[in-house]
Structure 1
């Protein structure tokens, strides 16, 4: 009997304040979508770090005709200098840090350049002799880059030593910044959701003040009186959280999986299944927001 009464009160409250309930659903949906987007970005960053850090290379660029570096004052790298650099890479002092390495000639560098910039007009203005040859090194521990840099930067015939990990860090920093923006927007939207839920509960309590007054007189407990109001907000918030979770799944499945994954096959994107781990957290956050804001509102506007 008590359960049927509570369910009836919830249904009546949802019908009376339908427009406000829809507003709560929408604002919760938007705010939790931003929260989930920030979570997706962090998942993507971790995925890319795990994927790319295993493939990251240190490039030792050799002097070419157009090199202006101080170490290239004597001209392009000679065959003897290149052999000395290879012997140094194979020496015991350096080999302990190196997993493997390969030499990339100017022609090979030009071929890779044309593949990477095939859709850019710049490809027509670059020739093979403008690109430096290089040694591409895979380190056992990418953190040991500084040792390789110090060893080879001052060697004859070396133009520069570049750590590709530094380029990735810039990308990850930009993604972290985007994640922070999403969290900030989500914070603003969550405040809006809390205020809107509180307003909805207040209006619902005001519209049913006669019924709650009668319930007090007949001895209904505080829980029985307040529970329908709390559950109204929780139900609306849960619906918003489910919609947010479904949106994140759709973005991961259709945009990341169907569009970006085909355009950038060498990039490790998160799967739609991975976004589902965010759903319980979003639903729990929605329940927490609705429950806390409802209880605080009822303590002030529904004295029992």
Structure 2
């Protein structure tokens, strides 16, 4: 009976403050959508970083006839210099750090350029002006500095390039996007908390006569507060469910249904499993924050 009375009070409060309740739902929906989007974006950044880190290569470019540098004073790298690099990569010092090595000869590199750009470029590039190279995949990408230092002063080596350096700006840009989403989500959550508190106070003012009667018949403060807290929690719960549905739809139709077929150079995407991890977080966050906000607001009002 008491439970039925409490929920009756909750739905009466909803009817009396329909516009404010809708506002709470919408603000909660938007703020928690940003929270979920920030978590999913961070997860995607992590997947991309792990994917490319496993595939990024350290490329050792050998000298060409046109190369300039301290290691390239004799023009093209000699067979002995190439063999020296090959031996170091397979030796006892560097070998344990390396997953695999792909050797590209000048002839292979020249033919690759012609295949990509067309036969009309055959007269533009000379075979001895194209770098022979070694493409190295490391077992641990953090060891890239060991490779760079090992061949920094090696005769016949023009340059050592770490492909991950070219991807870092992309990861940094994605991190900035994540921080922006978190900042917007924080502001929206503050707005939702304040709006919930305001809604509860207005609901309490509208029912001040009922509250007075309940006090006269001996109702405890907890019994009086419970319907108001449940109002805030229920509104926030509806908003969090809408946010969960929006995130599910974004991943299902936006990521899995659209991006995966069109952005083919990315093979590792977030999926619905990631969404199911995020949903309890945003629902729990919405319910807890709304309960705290509503409880604080009604307790403060009852003291006045």
Select between 66-75 and 13-22 the one with higher mean Cα deviation: 66-75
Asked whether the 8 Å contact 1:109–1:132 carries over to 2, the reply is no
TM-superposed CA distance for 1:232, in Å, is 0.7
Any idea what the Cα deviations from partners look like across 1:61-80, whole Å, max 9, x if unmatched?
Answer: 22335544443343343444
Any idea what the Cα deviations from partners look like across 1:193-246, whole Å, max 9, x if unmatched?
Answer: 111111111111111111111111111121221111111111110111111111
TM-superposed CA distance for 1:181, in Å, is 1.2
1:40/1:128 Cα in 2 relative to 1: closer, same or farther (>3 Å)?
Answer: farther
1:205/1:68 Cα in 2 relative to 1: closer, same or farther (>3 Å)?
Answer: farther
What does residue 176 of structure 2 align with?
177
What does residue 259 of structure 2 align with?
260
Describe how 1:136-175 pairs up with structure 2 within 5 A: 136-175=135-174
Any idea what the Cα deviations from partners look like across 1:33-87, whole Å, max 9, x if unmatched?
Answer: 1111111122112222332222222111223355444433433434443233223
**Distance in structure 1 (CA, Å) of the matches to 2:115 and 2:285:** 48
What does residue 77 of structure 1 align with?
77
Asked whether the 8 Å contact 1:109–1:128 carries over to 2, the reply is no
Structure 1 vs Structure 2 CA RMSD: 2.4
- 5+ residue gaps, structure 2, are none
**Distance in structure 2 (CA, Å) of the matches to 1:274 and 1:127:** 49
Asked whether the 8 Å contact 1:250–1:272 carries over to 2, the reply is no
**Distance in structure 2 (CA, Å) of the matches to 1:72 and 1:259:** 48
What does residue 117 of structure 1 align with?
none
What is the TM-score with the length of structure 2 in the denominator?
0.88
Any idea what the Cα deviations from partners look like across 1:125-172, whole Å, max 9, x if unmatched?
Answer: x96867633211111222221121111122222221122233343332
Describe how 1:270-285 pairs up with structure 2 within 5 A: 270-285=270-285
Asked whether the 8 Å contact 1:34–1:183 carries over to 2, the reply is yes
1:237/1:128 Cα in 2 relative to 1: closer, same or farther (>3 Å)?
Answer: farther
- 5+ residue gaps, structure 1, are 115-122
Select between 71-80 and 290-299 the one with higher mean Cα deviation: 71-80
